[in-house]
Chains A and B, each alone.
Chain A
């Protein structure tokens, strides 16, 4: 069974940085097409944040985070990361990682980790 577990969330002040991790188990990571990060602000809908193929040939970001967030993967550790810099109050959300089955389809999701940006 494929499982995704996110961690690294927390409370930070505006302008600070945070690195989220997502550990993937139950599959051979390098056979996965890619990984996504999706976030959900309190009481709001889903917002796609970033995507990276495992091969690294495609990396995409939402306009709201481009230049501040960086998605990366570590095949040896079966993990995907989201480095978040220059955090803003509007980045406050539950952050989910999701596996891309292929064709950009997000088929398995983690339970999420909460990021709160507040002074």
Chain B
């Protein structure tokens, strides 16, 4: 089946720094979703992307649907302690249901 790769697997940053992470696939996807999971909770939808090249913001978060339709990027500006968690990308291939990436674990140091 389809697989997604996320990088980095984990990252440690200082509070106030900007964060970049990405998600790649070997196949074309029609939709990209970015989720955040806090410890002990379910994933929460952050941003949804529907068109190649689309750039969408949600507060300090910005995500882009890659032009090739095989990748997506998530940026977090001016990180704060509550940004800690696991960030998952999910892609929707044309003929299948959503596939989730393995996640990027973010730690923010005060």
- The answer to whether A and B come from one shared complex is no
